[in-house]
Amino acid sequence: MSELKFCQGPECHQHQTQDRLKGPKGNKTYQTRRRSSMYYGTGNFCSMQCYNEWADVFIDRAINHFGRTTEAKHLTEHNAWTKDYNYQHSSGSDRTYVCVNSITKEQRPLTEAQYNDSNYTINTGE
Ligand SMILES: [Zn+2]
């Protein structure tokens, strides 16, 4: 049984739906949704509406806290590597893993472990 967590939408409780109406008879209130899993905002919001309402209130502070983009970033041959895989049709469902450079079109072989390691990259720039 996974733990229940609350929707982080600041106005979730203000949306008057039957599933939010909780409490003892005669003393029911609309309450923030609480679920074991939610689909929006990496699992923090019960709906896109709640996600957007959070963003309306907090997004400027979040961007300023973590760093606002103030100049263009550049995609170059140094940071254009992405992971991909090819099916080997001759040998059934075996895959071969590669890094593909979207600028130069160069491909370099990857091991399956490197492919699955979300921290592994051969990019040398942002
Ligand atoms: Zn919500």
Cα 77 to its chain centre, rounded Å, is 26
Neighbours of 53 (CB within 10 A): 19
* Ligand 1 centre distance from Cα of residue 8 (Å): 6
What does pTM read for this prediction? 0.69
* pLDDT, tens only, 62-96: 999 999 999 999 999 999 999 998 876 665 567 88
* Ligand 1 centre distance from Cα of residue 57 (Å): 14
Neighbours of 63 (CB within 10 A): 11
Token pair of 1 as six digits: 């049984």
Torsion of CA 90, 95, 100, 106, to 10 degrees: -40
* pLDDT, tens only, 13-69: 999 999 999 999 999 999 999 999 999 999 999 999 999 999 999 999 999 999 999
Q: What is the pLDDT of residue 1?
A: 55
